[in-house]
Amino acid sequence: MFPLALGFWLIHGGALQLFLGSLVQPSRAVWALGLWLRILSVISASQLWLEYIPPPVLIRSLFAGRLPASWAFLLASPLLLAGQIRIRAAQVREAQLSRGVPVHGTFFERASSLAALVFPLVLGLLNELPARSAALDMKGFGLFPRRSSLAREGETGALPALEPAPQTFNGKVVELREAAFLAPGETKLVLEIPEFSVAPGDTAFLEGGNGSGKSTLSSMLSGAVPEHRGGSIAGEFRVLGEDVTSRSCLAWSPDVQSVQQNPVLSLSGCTFTVREEVAFGPENLALPPAEIRARVERALDLTGIAHLGDRNPACLSGGEAQKLALASALAMTPRLLVLDEAFSRIHPADRHSLASVFRRQTREEGTALVVLEKPGNVSSPWFPPAWHFRDGRLLPGPSPVRSRRPAAGSSLFPEKKDDRPVLVIDDLSFRWKGETSPLLRSLNAVLRPGERAALTGPNGAGKSTLMRLCAGLLEPECGAVLLGGVPVGSMAPGERAARIGFLFQDAERQIFHSTVAGEVLFSLRKSALSPDERMERMRQALSATGLSGKEEKHPLDLNAAERRMVAVASLSVREGDLLLLDEPTRDFDPEWQARFEEWMLSRREAIVAVSHDPEFTGRLFPVSWSLGGGRLTT
């Protein structure tokens, strides 16, 4: 407030005019002081309000009140946006630290890292806007003027302003003939569907590789085209007997639910517990609170996350967040459910039980289920695919693409001969702030040069947390992680990044530049290599990761596999001691996975990889670490 007071004194109080030799009314200084005091009182009152009434309480009150849903969201949106910015900024800061950016250094070091913070922060938020908007529409937010709320148990629910489609529809739930999708500004069709249909009670399993059109079809089925996904639909495309373009994505939400690849983008961002998130959609449908509660409890039980009911969605693991997204869709009781790689982060044992639940629900309730997955996944819980994507077309039968075993490639770097431990986890324990019991208890492990260890365990066991501890991004409660005998927490960010390469679960978190070339060269910004040597190193990395010719592409314009490979290429240009790979193959179809495995086998660093793919870990990782119940078994 003092800079503001100084500004008022200089401008409104007349001090600047007096300095320049102009006449000033004596009352102006008093008026400026009064204005400053009024602004000070408003800001101080707001700070006191937020200090004693936390934002979650205020946001809950707005959504549970009697305001129209649009007004409640308008008033709550600044607080919601501030929360999303804080979460996103923390993720970007963590990614910066992993790549050697001194975010906690001197003033000049922090100032130099500002661009690497602001660019991914703003770009990430803007890139997620369409998906978050679609997620709110999928939850029926704004469909009716007023919402129901579990906080108002005595009410019978608001009278819907719109009549939902009749529940007695007896035709095909999905019926497509000569349908197609055309991207904006393009003349060539992106996706063609000669014929495709799903009857009530049936499950359709479709498989396709990266960029084949799976997510495009998911958007089309949910009514998100062209509202949330630019483009146009041609041909006959009917859902529940209606032309899919006859309703908006919001209007389709009581009947059609779609779960996206990234579970975070399927969540509303408006709730603070798992139970509130599952209830958010049914509340938007203005249902009686008793029915909402019954739907919520049933969905939590079916997906096996009832024990997480009071957890904050922002604190869930990737697999737990994916189960939450599935539970939220189930609570809407749709007649068409579309799952776009919605099981990719879930532990294999849970995938099969959840798949059985969804198949049984589909048969018993006479709904339709469309499952979109990559080919060649031996741990897939779904029966043989009935359809596949090939060359921009949806065709009947399983995909002819089969996975191929990679051959070990040659390394860019000489093999290390030192047999001393690279990584030592010594009596390591960790507890999240505010939690009463530790997540990790007295972990011990050793990894030697060139060894590859697979880190496995159920969702929520703490695998990603352990990886972040090994990367020096978190401080342990007790014990230590040693790299070459040195505690990783004591290393400077630049030294740590030079020796440890970290591939995050979501590649978007570690992308800082607007071109592939700029992103890869960022890893060499402090290298002693000459400019020509840096360019040659970049070319070799792009060739090894299948990205040659995409140097000037924006990383976020690439498909999921290519985005992940941009992050891999950024690791590839440096020679370190340790690679930490968190679910590295999740975004890959068989062709991209084979290329990634060739790259991984060519590396000489020790590797720790988190994975839910037992075939991948069993074939390529001689060392196995299992994490569960806070304990590590090696």
Check pLDDT > 80 for residue 163. no
> Across the beta sheet with 440-447, what order do the strands follow?
440-447, 423-430, 478-483, 486-487
The confidence score (pLDDT) of residue 149 equals 85
The confidence score (pLDDT) of residue 162 equals 45
Check pLDDT > 50 for residue 159. no
Find the helix packing angle between 289-303 and 274-284, rounded to 10°: 130
pLDDT tens digits, 6-61: 554 555 555 555 555 565 556 656 666 666 666 666 666 666 666 667 888 888 88
Same fold, 174-396 and 423-633: yes
Q: Calculate mean pLDDT across residues 247-269.
A: 92
Q: How many other CB atoms are there within 10 angstroms of residue 164's CB atom?
A: 12
Give me the residue label for tokens 């019991």: 437
The confidence score (pLDDT) of residue 36 equals 60
The confidence score (pLDDT) of residue 491 equals 92
Give me the residue label for tokens 């946006």: 81
CA triplet 473, 474, 479: central angle to 5 degrees?
125
Q: Are 70 and 142 in contact (CB under 8 A)?
A: yes
Superfamily of domain 174-396: P-loop containing nucleotide triphosphate hydrolases (3.40.50.300)
Q: How many other CB atoms are there within 10 angstroms of residue 240's CB atom?
A: 21
Domains of the chain by residue range:
2-52, 56-138, 174-396, 423-633
pLDDT tier at 532, thresholds 50, 70, 90: very high
Q: What ranges in 492-586 are assigned the alpha helix state H?
A: 493-499, 516-522, 531-544, 560-572
Check pLDDT > 70 for residue 225. yes
Q: 19 or 367: whose pLDDT is higher? A: 367
Kindly report which listed range (121-125, 193-197, 482-486, 531-535) carries the lowest average pLDDT score. Answer: 121-125
Sign of the Cα pseudo-torsion (86, 87, 88, 94, in order): positive
Q: Are 479 and 557 in contact (CB under 8 A)?
A: no
Q: 411 or 375: whose pLDDT is higher? A: 375
Q: Are 168 and 362 in contact (CB under 8 A)?
A: no
Sign of the Cα pseudo-torsion (125, 89, 487, 437, in order): negative
Check pLDDT > 70 for residue 240. yes
Instruction: Record the pTM.
Output: 0.85
The confidence score (pLDDT) of residue 57 equals 86
Check pLDDT > 90 for residue 311. yes
Q: Calculate mean pLDDT across residues 346-373.
A: 92
Write down the architecture of domain 423-633 according to CATH: 3-Layer(aba) Sandwich (3.40)
pLDDT tier at 88, thresholds 50, 70, 90: confident
